[in-house]
Structure 1
Amino acid sequence: MGQDPSISVSMTQTSDTERKTLILTGASRGIGHATVKRFSTAGWRVITCSRQPFPEDCPWDAGPEDHIVVDLASSTDTHAAIAAMKDKLKAQGSKLHALVNNAAISPKKPGGGRLNTLETSEDDWKTVFQINFFAPIMLARGLMDELVAAKGAVVNVTSIAGSRMHPFAGAAYSTSKAALAALTREMAGDFGPHGVRVNAISPGEIETSILSPGTEKLVAQIPQRRLGQPEEVARAIYFLCTDGSSYVNGAELHINGGQHV
């Protein structure tokens, strides 16, 4: 979760009582890493969550104290993390301005092949849905009071694989993302009357360190003829968490260069 050292300067220039706070799962790489940078640059306090401890070589000064190690595959661990999050938010009046559910897993065959419905084990199905589907609603419900206090926003990260078969994303991942898209609509209806907006972003082929071999062949199917960049996704997430999208609720924003058309 490295970040430009200059970011810490902008953060120290804004008092804790004025700063908005983001909680982000899956922050260690790719879209999550870019999102940390985008919000931190704007002066937000970012509480990160991942299975791994905060890396010692990361230049982000506030990182270690605002990092929570959590295994979202464990319901018990997730509830414990929620308690830790609520405790960290007390310093800012127990307000949470944005929750971004980005963490996800997609198990593969040995060698990285796609797992279909016949090949995915029962344990893998359960683990994928616990992380990709159940954890987002557990976190949002557990932090409901803090979100309401800030009139905050929730962004769920779905996927283009949730609406069509994908050559690399496995069956469990794809169906969990389809379920998360449906959950986003339900949450928008339930959270909206409390002043909390819930939306989703649906990335397509984004250039990260975990691209599957052969991804470059999909570029010909993308109208813009290129892969997306993590920073482009992060900007969309930021939009959905700020006043620019104040009347956007229950939407799923496609970030794929037109691939879904």
Structure 2
Amino acid sequence: MSYENLVVVVTGAAQGIGLGVAKAFAEKGALLVMSDVNEEQGAASAAEIRNEGGQAIFIPCDVRQEEEIKQLMKSAEEEYGKIDVLINNAGISRWKSPYELTAQEWDDIINTNVRSCFLATREAARYMKKQGGSGAVINMASTRALMSEPDTEAYAASKGAIVALTHAMAVSLGTDGIRVNCISPGWIETKQYESLKPADHEQHPAGRVGRPNDIAKACLYLADPDNTFVTGTHLVVDGGMTRKMIYEP
């Protein structure tokens, strides 16, 4: 499959998984629309892709703001004439005791992680439907939707909600030819990979901790226009970590 000239919008694209995904699509010839709340880093990341021969623009967007999401999609369509793929990657986390987590902090996480997926998908789908009823949406969930550590209630709830939102919107948008899927990354190290300990890798059946490119490959698969039978799915990309039982000796 050629990704030449596919218009791909990626939220939370300034760094980490989002940047890794953007780079992978750019290398395949896609036209990138990168957004993030961090304007300086986002602009620098888009420039990095262009310097490497890819095509990318940066549009600042705070995904907690409905009007900014609308403007992001409008600008993407005005720049390239269409939207083929939306990757809802933007998200935040906050580890805090449930006794101390405030309602405002809860709402901030839910609005950033979940509501933004709904709003961005709704707005991108308007353009996808208008251009002939084809397109792909990929939501970034997490294995935290399936398992937890202490003090992760809001983040876990947001990622579980993304999984449910994915299959709901896949059903609603399917008649318009729009596919909606989600990925749950496991441990994806985005900064200090070489400093990881052997034990970090050994707890994965795959034998290693993940890298952003592992998630990018999954996105490429789900975005492939030929995969018209793949929608509403939840793809766990975690090196088998959530399937391995770990008992204390």
Counterpart position of 2:204:
222
Q: Deviations over 1:94-132 (max 9, x none)?
A: x2110000011002xxxxxx3232231111100000010
Partner in structure 1 of residue 127 of structure 2: 146
In the TM superposition, 1:1-261 aligns within 5 A as 19-53=5-39, 54-56=42-44, 58-61=47-50, 66-73=57-64, 75=65, 78-93=66-81, 95-107=82-94, 114-148=95-129, 149=131, 151-166=134-149, 170-209=152-191, 219-261=201-243
Cα offset, 1:70, TM superposition: 1.5
- Whichever residue aligns with residue 142 of structure 2, its letter is S
- Alignment identity in percent? 29
1:220 and 1:91, CA in 2 relative to 1: closer, same or farther beyond 3 A?
closer
Aligned mates of 2:108, 2:21 — CA distance in 1: 25
Aligned partners of 1:50 and 1:70 also within 8 Å: yes
Conservation of the 8 A alpha-carbon contact between 1:205 and 1:215: no
Q: How many residues get paired?
A: 233
Please give the alpha-carbon distance, in whole angstroms, between the structure 2 residues aligned to 1:38 and 1:120. Answer: 37
Change (3 A) 1:156 1:88: closer
Counterparts of 2:106 and 2:198, CA distance in 1: 28
Against the structure 1 CA distance between its residues 159 and 84, is the aligned structure 2 distance closer, same or farther, given a 3 Å change threshold? closer
Question: How far 1:241 moved relative to its partner?
Answer: 0.6
Amino acid at match of 1:123: Q
TM-score (norm 2): 0.84
Task: Give RMSD over aligned pairs.
Answer: 2.7
Residue by residue, what CA displacement relative to the aligned partner does 1:138-157 show, whole Å, maximum 9, x if unpaired? 01112222122250000000
Asked if 2 retains the 8 angstrom alpha-carbon contact of 1:68 and 1:81, the reply is no
Deviation at 1:30, TM superposition (A): 1.4
Q: Any conservation in 2 of the 1:205–1:227 contact (CA below 8 Å)?
A: yes
For 2:197 and 2:184, the matched residues in 1 are separated by: 17
Q: Which amino acid aligns with 1:47?
A: V
Contact 2:185-2:238 within 8 A present in 1 as well: yes
CA offsets, 1:57-106, max 9 Å, x none?
A: 84333999721111223x3xx3234224213313443x211000001100
With over 3 angstroms needed to count, the CA separation of the structure-2 counterparts of 1:217 and 1:125, relative to structure 1, is farther
Q: Are residues 237 and 189 of structure 1, via their aligned partners in 2, closer, same or farther at CA, if it must alter by over 3 Å? A: same
Gaps of 5+ in 1: 1-13, 108-113
Mark the CA change 1:222 to 1:59 in structure 2 (over 3 Å): closer, same or farther: closer
Give me the TM-score of the superposition, normalised by structure 1: 0.80
Contact 2:181–2:232 (Cα < 8 Å) also in 1: yes
1:55–1:97 distance in 2 versus 1, CA, 3 Å: closer
